[in-house]
A and B are shown apart, each in its own frame.
Chain A
């Protein structure tokens, strides 16, 4: 049944249809105001689901789409799905509000913008609130497409088109891998329903398809969530308008991969590969992103790499959380904290990263540049933006009292705890995990400081700025202010989120554990003198020192392998594919008919000879053969002789005459083999053919001139001899054997009885198999019409003589 929940999910699609109409017919009001209603209503609607999902609860509504294939639009709201739905609609509302002030009503094509944005929102809701893998995949691809459209929103800029294409190619490759992975899973478990698959997880774990399915799905998740080395599309996606960057490329779409990893954790987490891949790539992305962010000079570039880095961090926590599933009870299960931290950081990242992107957009809007080398000293001019940047930046750096501090502490805690884990081959290598995490956090701290202080403190370089800087209008500041307010609120009162959102989401990720009791998550500032605290103090101390002496050591970056390496690999890969296909095509597609004939016949010969001898079909049965008479021997010699002349002659008349001789010899063969009708027809037709050749020759002798220049070609001879030999061999092995008697006795018996004719061949032609004759007449008719029009019709192109 189609319910309100289904309607809510696809409501943005319906809104996308209305947007162009509103844009066209109500041009006086900024279209964004109408659009704003949708996410606000949806956000309020999804808030009403909070009580339903508390604990381990969930809401399932099924709408049959293709029931015969087991593909149904099953809306499934549980803790994890609802968390994402709230993020999507909540941040969506703020982004729409921000975009109303960011995008100019007169200069921009708002209809396109809001249509794409609504398309994206609907797809994202569908992705996170779907229980069916195929439906999930459908929405997954719509997010890729709408992201492509949004990145290339300013399609006249070449960099926008480049970035859009890059993101599309990378996410589509991942999306396709995802589809294959889903199909593999479904082929083992027999269902596309996620709940059904989780119930059959033992079956999948025992299947040989477990590992391929896991790798393919991880490939999909990693490309979407910009994990190393697929992160290269995200910085180029920064060509999109800033509201898009804030929404898609920090808060929602890039978390689709994380959603998928979290959603399928109960399925795959039994495997050590899952733990090592997810945690390993997460940490690698974390440190790579944070190192790369420091070298950026563009505000959005820094934010893009910081997003990459933070996504890696969330993913590594989800991977570490997989360890929790090896314990039967939530009591004394230290690893659940990793999952709690992942979810908490997911929320935190969405809040502060959204606000930071909006801040970067404001700076761009009010000063005309995003280059930190030209910015500085904006603190007094733009005090509100500065406040936003400080709160957002410090939260990202993991400083108290903001929410980033809490999730970072939990991150350290989970990374320290995981070193005590005894399975998955964790030995001394496990010690690397907290060290990498800690190092990456230092660099995270450094780029956060760069972001805040390089932009707002120091000397104002007004001569370098394209516009005179001043504070943004209040409407533009409203959305980031709400987000930083949340940063502070979640920082001081983190436990308000726990029962309503975090624990239900944890229950979705670890359903088996959820049944044994409450997770008892308690987020608090003061842990006592625990390792995490000292790690944070170390981060702040070392980070501050590194930031202060940044000038001195940043030249190290000259030798540090940068992201150009991956971008060049990507570009070379594309160029290589193009060049290779061009080479291959121009190598074998020569445009010469002869070459194509050679391909066709060589392939035919190889295939036929292979199957003839490969299957042992070659055999000569001489039992039923007819003896050779002198007539036939002489005729055969004539046939061979005339064809040899035809083959090598350079005289045009000889060619025509020996063709005639050949035809008449064939007619004589028909006489010898007792086929009077064939002989008659062959004689007549050969005569007419030779006449035609002679006519052609008479009217246009020059066309035959080229015969004189005919050269002998050994390769041609080899291929033609091979074909002739194949025909002979097949003929020999076929003529001796007959699997069943011919049906000709029927024709001989009934020709007179049924059809009243004594000439059996003619009776077959016009009576038993008259349809052949009808169509053969049609062929002759078409040929004669074709000849007539070839000669008579003179359209453009004309004659050269």
Chain B
């Protein structure tokens, strides 16, 4: 399973990066979102996908899965959500102010201070 998960994470990285490398602002934002999914799955996989009960002690199971990476991913999800929503609004505002939806239209000129 770890092999498949690693490949999946790598695939998400590929897709995310491919989207980020385009000029379109919306695709770049979507790409960063995909990239963070890849990172979260990778984090989970790295900790080892041991079989066991969810980390809820009330279940009285013999083994539990590792709770620490779950806590880390939870934090990361929230932060990436904050960042995604911010850059989404930033892209929206950029389009409204400059009328540009592609990064090469946003290039400064030599006369810009």
Contacts and interface: CB of A to CB of B under 8 A. Distances in A.
Interface of A: 591-594, 597-598, 601, 620, 622, 624-628, 632-633, 636, 639-640, 643-644, 646-647, 652, 655, 659, 662-663, 666, 669-670, 673-678, 681-682, 685, 688-689, 692-693, 696, 699-700, 702-707, 710, 713, 716-717, 719-721, 723-729, 731-732, 734-736, 738, 742-744, 747-748, 751-752, 758-761, 764-765, 769, 772-773, 776, 779-780, 782-784, 786-787, 790-791, 797-801
A643 B12 CA distance: 7
Contact of B42 (A597, A655, A731): A731
29 contacts: A594-B23, A625-B2, A625-B3, A643-B34, A652-B26, A659-B33, A678-B73, A685-B78, A700-B92, A703-B91, A706-B25, A713-B21, A713-B22, A720-B16, A724-B12, A727-B6, A727-B9, A728-B9, A728-B11, A729-B10, A744-B68, A748-B64, A748-B67, A769-B71, A779-B79, A790-B89, A791-B93, A800-B98, A801-B96
Interface residues of B, number: 86
B74 to A, nearest CB: 6
B51 to A, nearest CB: 6
Contacts of B102: 706
Nearest to B92: A696
B14 A780 contact: no
A391 B12 CA distance: 90
In this complex, which of B3, B21, B79, B86 has the most chain A Cβ atoms within 10 angstroms of its Cβ? B21
Interface in B43-79: 44-58, 64-68, 70-71, 73-75, 77-79
Contact of B2 (A675, A735, A772): A735
A264 to B, nearest CB: 51
B57 A751 contact: yes
Contacts of A729: 10
A758 B2 contact: no
Contacts of A759: 55-57
B54 to A, nearest CB: 4
Q: Which 8 A-B pairs have the closest CB atoms?
A: A728-B10, A724-B14, A783-B82, A731-B6, A720-B17, A760-B55, A760-B67, A720-B18
Contact of B45 (A689, A700, A735): A735
Given A689-B81, A724-B15, 19 more contacts: A594-B23, A620-B3, A626-B1, A626-B51, A632-B1, A639-B12, A673-B44, A674-B55, A703-B91, A703-B95, A716-B18, A720-B14, A734-B46, A742-B68, A747-B55, A748-B57, A759-B56, A783-B85, A797-B97
B66 to A, nearest CB: 5
Contacts of A772: 71, 75
* SS class, residues of chain B in contact with chain A: helix
Contact of A643 (B11, B64, B78, B92): B11
Contact of A732 (B2, B37, B64, B70): B2
B26 A707 contact: yes
A764 B6 contact: no
Contacts of B33: 659, 663, 689
Nearest to A708: B24
Contact of A748 (B38, B55, B95): B55
A659 B41 CA distance: 16
Interface of A, helix, strand, loop or mixed by DSSP: helix
Given A591-B108, A735-B6, A760-B57, A727 B13 contact: yes
A764 B4 CA distance: 29
Given A636-B4, A761-B55, A716 B21 contact: yes
Nearest to A743: B68
Nearest to A734: B46
B4 A632 contact: yes
Contacts of B46: 731, 734-735
A738 B47 CA distance: 9
B53 A724 contact: no
Contact of A675 (B19, B23, B25, B70): B70
A669 B5 CA distance: 10
A747 B85 contact: no
Nearest to A781: B82
Contacts of A734: 46
Nearest to A680: B74
B6 A598 contact: no
Given A646-B15, A674-B53, A710-B24, A799 B96 contact: yes
A692 B30 CA distance: 12
Contacts of A738: 48
Contacts of A633: 4
B77 A682 contact: yes
Given A678-B73, A678-B77, A752 B65 contact: no
B1 A787 contact: no
Given A700-B96, A703-B91, A716 B22 contact: yes
A779 B2 CA distance: 32
A721 B16 CA distance: 10
Contacts of B89: 696, 786-787, 790-791
User: Most chain-A CB neighbours within 10 Å: which of B86, B97, B104?
Assistant: B86
A713 B18 CA distance: 9
- Which of B2, B38, B46 gathers most chain A CB within 10 Å? B2
A747 B4 contact: no
Given A720-B18, A724-B13, A797-B97, A752 B70 contact: no
